[in-house]
A and B are shown apart, each in its own frame.
Chain A
Amino acid sequence: MTKPDNQSTVLDFYAGESDHDYPPPDDLFEALANSKRRQLLLALPDESGMHLDELTDILVGWQTTTDGPAGPDEWAKVKIELVHAHLPLLSDTGLLDYEDEEITRTEWPDPVEELLTFAGEYERAAVGGAPS
């Protein structure tokens, strides 16, 4: 990532690429202002999609490393939360596509990618272990 000769910022540089959609900042930061949504975004593979059930498994599984075992009731609760709140919001923000229970990452602009990576690192540093 080299800085162009003029004094423009990194973001100006990215904006110049213009091959990705930039989510409006308020939408983006609202999307990231929730630990479940950050985990969800970080759990999605780069290349392929993920089924809703598997995504639910991972989010419930992470929870067990801090909160102890989880049963079918918790699993159902997390799945409902995903379907009714988190996935529609992230889909509206343009960060993922959600169709027929299959969730796929969209192509994120580099600053979004970096922000997510930073959020993951920050969480590890602040909380330690699994994000909660």
Chain B
Amino acid sequence: MGFGQILSDAASQRKDVVVYAPDDTGNDVAERLATRNLRIDHRRLPDISSESFVIIRDDGEFQGALSLTDLLEFLSPPIRRPRDLDTLAPKHRAIYELLDDTVFVSLDRRQLLATSRELEDRAWRTGHGRLHAGFQRPEAFEAQADIYRDLATTDIDIHVYVPGGTATAALSDTPITLHTDPGTDLDRYWFLLFDDGKSGAQNCGLIARETDDNRYHGLWTYNPDLVDKAFSAVEGQDS
């Protein structure tokens, strides 16, 4: 399964979100959620509380509920999992897992960079496992080369995919494996995949494809199964 299939599968898993809010906050919410693969319905919240919340349903089945405050925090790029997701009770984790492979329709370059940084930080803090990062252009990688030189000082097995591969010289003294001919499926994507090599609790991934006007379409995820699939897509292309 290639990246294209992974993205279209995720896009087809559109979820229903019912936002219960007092009259005036509804539009703001719709705007904030517009970049996500969600079908949004609004209901007016009965007067007794001004706190808004959302209900998530998939095929009509209740999946989860959370306060609007929590949801908006979760959806803002760069993606940071709420403070310490790994220590949350399973029921709380489930909500975030439910939302985190939701396709974002559109993000700009700056937002994607911020999101990449969050994933790279996560890899850095973990310090072991494997990290595969794909860049569409040599210049894109060169701008990040220092970060990867730092990451190379950890025990992480790092693979960098740079079509054309002009950055070879900058990495020759590091253990980073450079792939200069990623193949025509991979080189259209900006991707970053991390597998912690242990429990999978730190696994994460980002797959994005440039559309036009410097905007990108794609997904990010902390779902270990999806991260696995993405690794297979990369390794199937270039082994």
Contacts and interface: CB of A to CB of B under 8 A. Distances in A.
A and B form one complex: yes
A68 B69 CA distance: 10
Contacts of B52: 65
A107 interface: no
Given A61-B65, A65-B53, A75-B65, A42 B91 contact: no
B62 A53 contact: yes
A120 B55 CA distance: 23
A60 interface: yes
Interface string B80-105: 00000000000110111000000000
B112 interface: no
Given A75-B62, A130-B51, A69 B46 contact: no
Given A43-B46, A69-B66, A120-B48, A61 B54 contact: yes
Given A71-B64, A72-B63, A75-B65, A64 B46 contact: no
B225 to A, nearest CB: 19
Contacts of A120: 47-48
Contacts of A42: 46-48
A85 interface: no
Size bracket of the B interface: 20 to 34
A68 B94 CA distance: 12
B65 A57 contact: yes
B48 A123 contact: yes
Contacts of B70: 64, 68-69
B67 interface: yes
Q: Which of B52, B65, B67 has the most CB of A within 10 A?
A: B65
Q: Majority SS of interface residues in chain A?
A: helix
B91 A73 contact: yes
A60 B48 contact: no
Q: Which of A68, A71, A123 has the most CB of B within 10 A?
A: A71
A123 B66 CA distance: 22
A47 B204 CA distance: 49
A20 interface: no
A16 B70 CA distance: 50
Contacts of B94: 71
Contacts of B91: 69-71, 73-74
B50 A61 contact: no
Contact of A131 (B20, B49, B64, B96): B49
5 contacts: A62-B49, A64-B66, A65-B53, A120-B47, A129-B49
Given A72-B61, A123-B48, A129-B50, 10 more contacts: A53-B62, A56-B62, A57-B55, A60-B65, A61-B55, A62-B51, A69-B96, A70-B91, A71-B92, A72-B64
Interface of B: 18, 20, 46-55, 61-67, 69-70, 91-92, 94-96
Enumerate the 5 nearest inter-chain pairs by beta-carbon distance, A residue then B residue, closest first.
A65-B51, A61-B53, A71-B91, A69-B66, A69-B95
